[in-house]
Amino acid sequence: METITIPSSEIIASLAISILAVIVLWDAYWLTKQKRDIPELGKISDEVFAWSSEGPNEVVRQWGNLFSMAAMMALPWGLVEISDTPIIYPIIWDILLALHLISLLIPKRYAITKTHLFADGQRYEWKRLKLSRSKTKKRIILLRKGWGIFAPLPVGGNYHDLVEAKSRITNILNPQEEE
- DSSP sequence for 94-156: HHHHHHHHHHHHS--EEEE-SSEEEETTEEEEGGGEEE-----SS-EEEEETT-GGG-EEEE-
Q: Considering the domain boundaries, does residue 128 fall inside one?
A: yes
pLDDT digits (tens), the chain, 179 positions: 788 888 888 899 999 999 999 999 998 888 888 888 888 999 988 899 999 988 888 888 888 888 999 999 998 888 888 888 899 999 999 999 999 999 888 899 999 999 999 988 889 999 999 988 877 778 888 999 988 888 888 888 888 999 999 999 999 988 765 44
Q: Tell me what pLDDT residue 115 has.
A: 93
Q: What is the pTM of this model?
A: 0.76
Enumerate residues 6+ apart whose C-beta is below 8 A from 113. Answer: 47, 48
Q: Considering the domain boundaries, does residue 163 fall inside one?
A: yes
Q: Tell me what pLDDT residue 179 has.
A: 46
Q: What is the number of H-type helices and E-type strands within the chain?
A: 4, 8
- Taking the C-alpha atoms of residue 22 and residue 4, their distance in angstroms, rounded to an integer, is 29
Q: Considering the domain boundaries, does residue 124 fall inside one?
A: yes
Q: Considering the domain boundaries, does residue 178 fall inside one?
A: no
Buried b (16+ CB within 10 A) or exposed e, 50-63: bbbbeeebbeebbe
- Taking the C-alpha atoms of residue 77 and residue 51, their distance in angstroms, rounded to an integer, is 40
How many domains does the structure of the chain reveal?
1
Helix, strand or coil for residue 49?
A: strand
- Decide if 161 contacts 138 (C-beta within 8 A): no
- Taking the C-alpha atoms of residue 75 and residue 96, their distance in angstroms, rounded to an integer, is 14
- Decide if 20 contacts 96 (C-beta within 8 A): yes
Q: Tell me what pLDDT residue 90 has.
A: 94
Q: Considering the domain boundaries, does residue 179 fall inside one?
A: no
Q: Tell me what pLDDT residue 168 has.
A: 93
Q: Which residues pair with 125 in a beta bridge?
A: 116
Q: Considering the domain boundaries, does residue 3 fall inside one?
A: no
Q: Considering the domain boundaries, does residue 122 fall inside one?
A: yes
**Distance set, CA 2 to CA 5, 12, 74 (Å):** 10, 22, 36
Q: Considering the domain boundaries, does residue 119 fall inside one?
A: yes
Helix, strand or coil for residue 53?
A: coil
Domain that holds residue 133: 10-173
